[in-house]
Structure 1
Amino acid sequence: MIRSLRVRLMLAATLLAVLFMLALLPAMQGAFSLALKDAIEQRLASDVTTLISAARVEKNQLKMPALLPDEQFNLPDSRLLGYIYDREGHLVWRSRATQEENINYTPRYDGRGNEFASIREDNGEEFFVYDVEVKLLGGKSAAFSFVALQPMREYNMTLAGLRENLYLGFGAALIVLLALLWIGLTWGLRALRRLSQELDQIESGERESLSEQHPRELLRLTGSLNRLLQSEREQRARYRDSLDDLAHSLKTPLAVLQGVSESMAQRPRDRDQAWVLQTQIERMNQQISYQLQRASLRKSGLVRHQVELLPVVKSLCDTLEKVYRDKQVKVSYDIPELSHVPIEQNALLELLGNLLENAYRLCLCQVRISLHQNAHGVEICVEDDGPGVPPDQRARILQRGERLDRQHAGQGIGLAVVKDIIESYDAQLTLDDSTLGGAAFRIHFPAAN
């Protein structure tokens, strides 16, 4: 499917222009052919008039001068042929150029006066014929047919030359027309190109709204987009504020409940109830933390960020190496310089922070981070040489609150947050086995449309 509006318009205009020219060519050729035939008819009529004016009847015999006023009849290789027939169709005179021509033509002396037609010989040669019936010559009664013939070769060559010139002329006109149309479309679509550039600037975070310097036909669209952008910003702000207010409003009651549960845990008979209470408090804390993280890391609807990956990865690994210095983790990078990923920086920090923290915590001594880019998008891969994840448990650990590692403290929401961030960017998270021996988390960001 052709996605360029300019190319679509050009193809439509080209098709219409070609169809118009294809319809116009036969009409022009037909009109020119009729005009050319009319000119030939008039010329032959004039030639026949020359023959008639030169003819004389003496003693019932037709007499023609040795030289005729029309020089074409006197030349042996002339293209103009002249014949005179009597009433019975017998040839009584012929011009010099007809001495080597055997034209199979028999006039019909039927009183119609004159006739313009075309004939075709057995050898395929064609002629235009102008036949005039004469009943009176020099004031004397006579009955003759004066015939002038002209080969159609010149006519056909003229038509062929015209056809070639028409094709060349129409082709050149079509090229010029399409060039002018391309220039016109380029100029006319500048407004859409400028609008596209402003949208790119909004996606990259360089501007917050579209300008009003657009044609009237686009002002309604740009106004709607600006209202949508403003509404999205306000909605995101209200969402974050609401969650912040909720977190603060629950903070004090949860702290009180935590204190009560700790007091109850000191009494042997209340330890079971205290454990239940602490479990529920922990779940509430998980829910609050999870929702706050989702609110702060959701992708904007129109803004598209580009973050250089390698500095972010190195910064996170430097921090984690200090935390897990006793493990002496060996980290390897397979990330090209100046490689970018389409995600906001805070979201990338949260996403990779969770994955790398899990990799450092569960690995034996080796972690690898790589990036692969192709026409389909960008893929980040975080691998370790730890115990890995059994295939039947891979879907479960991506659910909120689910953990396979029970030896270390945690709330079990890290991978769930990672999954939410990835889904908000229309990306995909897959989990499989690493060549290092542990787990390989792959994040695929599709190519931008």
Structure 2
Amino acid sequence: MSVYSLRLRLMSLAVVWVIISLVAAALVLQYLFTINVERSAREEMTATIARLAALIVPEANPPAIRSPLADPRYDTPFGGRYWQIEAIDTQTVTRSRSMWDEGIDVPDSYEGVFHHSMPNDRHLILLTRRLQVDGPAGPRTYLVTVGQDHDPIYRATQAFARDTTRLLILLGGAILAAAYLLLLLGLGPISRMRQSIEAVHRGDAPRLEGRFPSEIEPLVDELNRLLAVRAVMTDRARARAADLAHGLKTPLAALHGIADRLRESGNTHEADLLQDLSYEMSERVDYQLKLSVLRPRTGTDNASSSLNTAVLRTLAVLKKTGRGETLHWVAELGTDYLVDIHRQDLMELVGVLMENAAKWASSRVVVQSRLADNRAILDISDDGPGIADHHSARLGERGHRLDESLPGTGLGLAIAREILALNNGDVSFTRADIGGLSVSVSLPLAR
């Protein structure tokens, strides 16, 4: 997936936003859980202070309470619940049995919640209040402190954090899966539009077809209008080329007639020259007409054509020609490879190459197909005179011929080179094992 992919960008933004949101949610939930647990602890300690205030014996010194608290943890050494009463006037202190021999230093003027660490690695959360209790000798002031171990609160918050993390990870995965599904559904019309454009490139459809969302319908309409304009301009260009070609056919036919009359009058040299020129002009007109119907290719459109079908159809036609009937044709075709070229262009390519082989063969033409480097290879060999190795690079140059013994302009192989250049193909010429020329064509497989 490209870094410029819209799907990748949207999915990346969704991932970043989900992660930020879930991390923020985890922090907020952890904070809310912690303050709620500590609020519950403060409320419980406030209630304990109220009970102690009702149980203080004002005439006792040091301070004392009339009866123990109902929670047995206050009477169990290090039981997790603690209280301490300090008489301000006498500076005497009474503690719960759970504190054993440990004391808590609380400033006389301090009131509120605070944390305290004990020497035996225990961490306490404490609440201190200043109380006045009426007694026989008048009101007395006490500093009452109650507390509990902070470790259960810490363990609860840690367990909550772990459970919340698991839940948020599952939630994040579900949200991202839903976001990906949403992207697939939301961007699906764009994929369908791309497929429609590929169908236009392949020649399977003249315009973009199908139903599209209203948001991209204007874009589809504009593309269809552009395709319509391009089709009209292409048809006009081809029609003008055809008109020009047909317009030249009559003068060329007249030139043939003039050449015949010159030959009859004994002017053989000028007649042959005039006939050769008119024949070459006819070949060039045909060449331009064939080029005008070739389909331009881009790097994004796809095509799929059967190589075996093109070879067998061409072979069936050539065997019915006068030259083809005298030749022995050998087609060694294996797997039917699908190649990335339009079927009409493939038929033109195979036809040009097999016609050339039939033209120069003495008695036999061999056609073979194979696979090499993930490309389809078509080898066409004849047992004709062949060419020298140092001439192979010039074969297929427009209008260039290496042998003038047979009629022609050399434009057939030039057309083959044009077709291969448009379709990412290659061609090479070597001496065949059967003595003549071997043409090897390489074409990419259909995607």
Q: TM-score range by the shorter chain?
A: 0.7 to 0.9
Partner Cα separation in structure 1 for residue 316 and residue 186 of structure 2: 54
CA change 1:89–1:446 in 2 (3 A) is farther
Partner of 2:129: 132
What SS does structure 2 have at the residue aligned with 1:343?
A: coil
The structure 2 residue matched to 1:384, chosen from 381, 385, 398, is 381
Partner Cα separation in structure 2 for residue 88 and residue 17 of structure 1: 61
Retained in 2: the 8 A contact 1:427–1:445? yes
1:442 lines up with 2:437 in the alignment: no
CA change 1:204–1:279 in 2 (3 A) is closer
Partner of 2:246: 248
The structure 2 residue matched to 1:408, chosen from 379, 384, 406, is 406
The structure 1 residue matched to 2:257, chosen from 250, 256, 259, is 259
Counterpart of 2:143 in structure 1: which amino acid? S
Partner of 1:289: 286
Partner Cα separation in structure 2 for residue 261 and residue 43 of structure 1: 123
Retained in 1: the 8 A contact 2:112–2:128? yes
Partner of 2:104: 105
- Deviation, 1:95, is 1.5
Partner Cα separation in structure 2 for residue 271 and residue 359 of structure 1: 32
| Structure 1, gaps ≥5 residues long | none
Partner Cα separation in structure 2 for residue 399 and residue 373 of structure 1: 26
Partner of 1:328: 328
Counterpart of 2:219 in structure 1: which amino acid? L
Partner of 2:216: 218
Partner Cα separation in structure 2 for residue 279 and residue 385 of structure 1: 27
Partner of 2:427: 430
CA change 1:178–1:303 in 2 (3 A) is closer
Partner Cα separation in structure 2 for residue 303 and residue 58 of structure 1: 101
The structure 1 residue matched to 2:353, chosen from 355, 362, 368, is 355
Pairing of 1:41-440 with structure 2 (within 5 A): 41-58=42-59, 60-68=61-69, 72-74=73-75, 78-87=79-88, 92-99=93-100, 103=102, 105-109=104-108, 111-112=109-110, 114-134=111-131, 136=133, 138=135, 140-142=138-140, 144-199=142-197, 201-203=199-201, 205-211=203-209, 213-264=211-262, 274=271, 276-299=273-296, 305-321=303-319, 323-324=323-324, 326=326, 328-334=328-334, 336-337=335-336, 339-362=337-360, 365=364, 367-372=366-371, 378-384=375-381, 392-424=390-422, 426-431=423-428, 433=430, 436=433, 439-440=438-439
Counterpart of 2:258 in structure 1: which amino acid? V
| Structure 2, gaps ≥5 residues long | none
Residue-by-residue CA offset, 1:36-70 (whole Å, 9 max, x unaligned)? 22332232222223223211232643222342355
- Deviation, 1:266, is 6.0
TM-score normalised by length of structure 1: 0.83
- Deviation, 1:152, is 1.1
What SS does structure 1 have at the residue aligned with 2:399?
A: coil
Q: Percent identity?
A: 23
TM-score normalised by length of structure 2: 0.83
- Deviation, 1:93, is 1.9
Counterpart of 1:430 in structure 2: which amino acid? V
Partner Cα separation in structure 1 for residue 193 and residue 24 of structure 2: 40
Select between 188-197 and 291-300 the one with higher mean Cα deviation.
Answer: 188-197
Counterpart of 2:405 in structure 1: which amino acid? Q
Provide the alpha-carbon RMSD of the alignment.
3.5
- Deviation, 1:106, is 1.7
Residue-by-residue CA offset, 1:377-423 (whole Å, 9 max, x unaligned)? x4232242657655643442222111223333222001111122223
Q: How many residues align?
A: 438
- Deviation, 1:159, is 0.7
What SS does structure 2 have at the residue aligned with 1:370?
A: strand
Counterpart of 1:125 in structure 2: which amino acid? R
What SS does structure 2 have at the residue aligned with 1:214?
A: coil
Counterpart of 2:415 in structure 1: which amino acid? V
1:35 lines up with 2:36 in the alignment: yes
- Deviation, 1:198, is 3.9
Which stretches of structure 1, 4 residues or more, deviate above 6 A after TM superposition? 88-91, 300-303
- Deviation, 1:13, is 1.3
Partner Cα separation in structure 1 for residue 65 and residue 215 of structure 2: 82
CA change 1:172–1:330 in 2 (3 A) is closer
Retained in 2: the 8 A contact 1:359–1:367? no
Partner Cα separation in structure 2 for residue 212 and residue 352 of structure 1: 35
CA change 1:420–1:185 in 2 (3 A) is same
Residue-by-residue CA offset, 1:319-374 (whole Å, 9 max, x unaligned)? 4456355553543223x14x333333332222001212333455675623214387
- Deviation, 1:246, is 0.9
CA change 1:360–1:272 in 2 (3 A) is closer
Residue-by-residue CA offset, 1:16-38 (whole Å, 9 max, x unaligned)? 11111112322332233223223
What SS does structure 2 have at the residue aligned with 1:208?
A: coil
What SS does structure 2 have at the residue aligned with 1:61?
A: coil
Retained in 1: the 8 A contact 2:58–2:133? no
Select between 17-26 and 55-64 the one with higher mean Cα deviation.
Answer: 55-64
Counterpart of 2:115 in structure 1: which amino acid? S
